[in-house]
Structure 1
Amino acid sequence: MASSSSYRISFCVFVVLIVMASAQLSSTYYDTSCPKALSTIKSVVHTAVAKESRMGASLLRLQFHDCFVQGCDASNLLDDTSSFTGEKTAAPNNNSARGFDVIDTIKSSVESICPGVVSCADIIAVAARDSVVCLGGPSWTVQLGRRDSTTASFSLANSDIPAPSLNLSGLISSFSKKGLTTKEMVALSGAHTIGQAKCSSFKARLYNESNIATSFATSLKSNCPTTGGDDNLSPLDTTSPNYFDNAYYKNLLSNKGLLHSDQQLYSGGSTDSQVTSYSTSSSTFSSDFGSAMVSMGNISPLTGTSGEIRTNCRKTN
């Protein structure tokens, strides 16, 4: 009984902390201090995505990988230092995470008009939203006012970012630890309607799993052989890889989820009905995705006097 009571108290404290932190964020945070911040970020993102559509998925992914490690604090942008190993070389990010140069360009542009005002953490959040819109997806109101961390965690990046090998229970648990519901997990997984994955992240599914459409598996094997080719890329959504829509969920209904973790969302479990709903209603998916992104953006932000506003997103001041 004591342990159960302690768990409830700890969980309540966690929830209160999340609510307190998110309450300090505001959609109008820069209206006075840097009124051109959002338009400046949008301009750079649009240019980058127009040059390479894949960059939209990369910038969106940066926010996932930021918020799941230490909260939404731009820790994943920090380079290694003599005092800590950053997150860029952790397994989920190494030779995989992209878009750092675009964030650098945004930061330089914003610094030129409002020095020391806009955080790298907020830039990540706004760039993710603008990337989705660029690729035809929904918009949402980004809450702002995050500050930047002065450290990163290589170990947490390895342990807390959901792996493509996770089963449904593991996915639910991974998101729950961050205060996100199962419904939000399924909605956020829809980010895989854009972007690409390395052969190494889905090879095991391709050759060892039975709940994958035969024609789909065959079409991928030439680019992802049993030996070698681990860095070869395949789109997460083969239907419309450069357009943010609900095709990802339609693919799951046909056993055409690229990653093991993708197909787990439609595998006879508790999330099947939600996948079916999103597959038939793009508006429902769009609405839920935007709401879930706001929730994710509220994970343990640094506010007030915590952290700092980095001048260079790659290093502390």
Structure 2
Amino acid sequence: MQGCDGSILLNSTAAGAAEKDAPPNLTLRGFDLIDRVKGLVEQACPGVVSCADVLALAARDAVAAIGGPSWRVPTGRRDGTVSTMQEAVRELPSPSMTFPQLVALFAGKGLDVRDLVWLSGAHTIGIAHCSSFADRLYSYPSAGNGTGTVPPLDAAYAANLRQRKCRMGGRDTTVEMDPGSFLTFDLGYYHTVLKHRALFRSDAALVTDPAARADIAGVVSSPPEVFFQVFARSMARLGAVQVKTGSQGEIRKHCAVVNS
């Protein structure tokens, strides 16, 4: 992970495993869609638009398509030629991270605490595998006992998940990150966090910082447009992290492989 250079799209090779095969990325989908879009772009203007730009624009349009904000995406990124599993494991946020760990990880990319809080709001869409938060269900202190640096899951919600979706020893099923509106971009995620129903420790950790908690409380009491504005700003900042331009990298013909 060397910046916003489309390295997540590269396939593994005999020389080594790529980012997309790192454990945190194994549930990613949509690679075929990006490949189809890139193919159409190449037909129209070969060698001009990078896979990194296609990915950045697709992320923006996907959010807008499900009711979220849009934002300006500067283009001109170049594609990287390096993609390693080890970098993805080391640099992607883990579901078990504490707030200080998350802050340090984001700071390493030039992003601040508010970027962390607002970008976490992307968890208003999507699902999580039970295995990714099993520690919060079966080995984490129960709610209300005053132990643990991160608030445990709401006791009633945890009991419901154990009985219905995440039975111990059962199949690794999935749970909506934002129950009831996981296909709609809205403020539901932050309400979930404040109710101690966030699935990941890394999400629950947001309320352990007074400033972050105050920001969340402020945005949930405001019109959705306020969150949309700050989320769009942080996404624009994220899309500018370690961008390759000029003679750096290349413009791939096919997103899954470097040019020959």
Q: Report if TM-score (shorter chain) is over 0.5.
A: yes
Correspondence 1:92 to 2:21: no
Q: Partners in 1 of 2:55 and 2:67 — Cα distance?
A: 19
**Percent of aligned pairs with the same amino acid:** 42
Candidates 65, 69, 80, aligned match of 2:12: 80
Write the letter of the residue equivalent to 1:87: E
8 Å CA contact 1:85, 1:154 repeated in 2: yes
Moved more, 263-272 or 97-106: 263-272
Of residues 123-132 and 265-274 in structure 1, the stretch that sits farther from structure 2 once superposed is: 265-274
- Deviation for aligned residue 1:233: 1.0
Match of residue 177 from structure 1: 108
TM-score by length of 1: 0.75
Match of 1:314 among 235, 256, 259: 256
Match of 1:15 in 2: none
In the aligned structure 1, how far is the partner of 2:161 from the partner of 2:53?
Answer: 37
Q: Deviations over 1:285-308 (max 9, x none)?
A: 111100000100111111011111
TM-score when normalising by structure 2? 0.91
Matching residue within 160, 177, 197 for 1:256: 197
**What is the 5 A alignment of 1:141-180?**
141-180=72-111
| Superposition RMSD in Å | 1.3
Q: What is the letter of the counterpart of residue 197 of structure 2?
A: K
Confirm or deny that 1:186 pairs with 2:117. Answer: yes
Asked which structure has the greater RCO (Cα within 8 Å, sep 6+), the reply is 2
Task: State the Cα deviation string for residues 114-165 of structure 1 (Å, max 9, x = none).
Answer: 1111100011100000000010001110111101011112111000000000
Counterpart residue number, 1:138: 69
* Equivalent AA in structure 2 for residue 285 of structure 1: F
SS in 2 for 1:88: helix
DSSP-derived class of the 2:247 partner: coil
- In the alignment, structure 2 segments of 5+ residues that lack a partner are 144-151
In 1, the alpha carbon distance for the partners of 2:84 and 2:241 equals 16
SS at 1:131 equivalent: helix
Give SS of 2:25's match.
Answer: coil
- 1:225 maps onto 2:157 in alignment: no
Report the Cα offset of residue 249 of structure 1: 0.5
Residue number among 23, 35, 46 corresponding to 1:104 in the alignment? 35
Q: Contact 1:111/1:311 (CA < 8 Å) preserved in 2?
A: yes
**Count of residue pairs brought into register by the alignment:** 247
Please give the alpha-carbon distance, in whole angstroms, between the structure 2 residues aligned to 1:233 and 1:83.
Answer: 33
One-letter amino acid matched to 1:238: P
The question of 1:240 aligning with 2:240 is answered no
**What is the distance in 1 between the residues matched to 2:153 and 2:82?**
41
| Whole-angstrom CA distance in 1 between matches of 2:9 and 2:79 | 10
**Offset, 1:268:** 5.5
Between structures 1 and 2, the one with greater helix share:
1
* Contact persistence 2:12–2:21 (CA under 8 A): no
1:229 positional shift:
2.3
Structure 1, residues 56-78: CA drift from partner, whole Å, max 9, x if none? Answer: xxxxxxxxxxxxx2100011111
Q: Matches of 2:155 and 2:101 in 1, distance apart?
A: 26
| Structure 1 residues 28-107: aligned runs within 5 Å | 69-94=1-26, 96-107=27-38
Counterparts of 1:316 and 1:268, CA distance in 2: 42
Distance 1:227 1:181 in 2: 39
Stretch moving more, 206-215 or 162-171: 206-215
User: Is the 1:137–1:244 contact (alpha carbons within 8 Å) kept by the matching residues of 2?
Assistant: yes
Q: Contact between 1:166 and 1:260, CA under 8 Å: does it hold in 2?
A: yes
What is the Cα deviation at residue 98 of structure 1?
Answer: 1.2
